[in-house]
Amino acid sequence: MSAANLRRVQAALVAVTFLTASAGAALAQQAPPASSAAQPASGMQVRQMQSGFVFAPEVRFTQVNDRSATLVGASAGWQMDRTLFVGAAGYVLANRERDFEMQYGGALVKFSIGGTRTAGLAPGLFVGLGTATITRPLSEFGMYGPWRPDPRPGRPSAVSGSTPVLLYDNIGVAEPQLNAFWNVNRWLRVEGGVGYRFVGAAEMMNRHLRGVSGSVSLQIGGH
């Protein structure tokens, strides 16, 4: 082989070697590392907390002084991640009369189980203060009649054990409750539940004001 042909062969071998090395380096850069391909996907999930101010008009159905009673009111406060609600609530007797009144307000705390799901349960506790006015028969106070007539004009001529006596006093209220809820969408929740109203401070009226109640509310906001 002549010297010129030998030089051509050597140049061709150098060119092939260079191209082969370049292609190998390019493939190595494109291929993912073997360790990352075999690494399992992480189970961690990232979710934005859904918290905010909520307002909830509410109606409660119960009995007060052996009569059917409807309480209307509302609660407002801050709900954290659709789970923990901390706020205030107030209620007033809707079918009130001069001798049949009750109103109270205070703090309300609720904890939603499964709050981010479509439906769930929300136990809660209300604690507050208020006032009440009712009538009770005179005989309950150990005063049995008849008594001497009242001489003033327009006054009853006689009283008896069934004569109504008007009672008014301040009251303390504690009401544990259990609610079921339905998240209609991110900003609207419907709740319904039951509770028991414990009443203290008014010794002569406590047993006539306490009792079971059912409620329906519409919670707006917070999501």
Per-residue pLDDT of the chain (223 residues; tens, 9 = 90+): 555 544 554 555 445 454 445 544 444 455 454 444 444 455 655 555 568 999 999 999 999 999 999 999 999 999 998 899 999 999 999 999 999 999 999 999 999 998 888 999 999 999 999 999 999 988 777 655 445 555 566 665 566 677 788 899 999 999 999 999 999 998 899 999 999 999 998 888 999 999 999 999 999 997 5
pLDDT computed for residue 38 by the predictor: 44
Gap between the terminal Cα atoms of the chain: 87
pLDDT computed for residue 8 by the predictor: 54
Q: Establish whether the linkage from the previous residue to 123 is cis, with ω within 30° of 0.
A: no
pLDDT computed for residue 41 by the predictor: 52
SS (H, E, C) the chain: CCHHHHHHHHHHHHHHHHHHHHHHHHHHHHCCCHHHHHCCCCCCCCCCCCCEEEEEEEEEEEEECCEEEEEEEEEEEEEECCCEEEEEEEEEECCCECCEEEEEEEEEEEECECCCCCEEEEEEEEEEEEEEEEEEEHHHHCCCCCCCCCCCCCCCCCCCCCCEEEEEEEEEEEEEEEEEEEEEECCEEEEEEEEEEEEECCCCCHHHHCEEEEEEEEEEECC
pLDDT computed for residue 20 by the predictor: 44
pLDDT computed for residue 34 by the predictor: 46
pLDDT computed for residue 130 by the predictor: 97
pLDDT computed for residue 115 by the predictor: 83
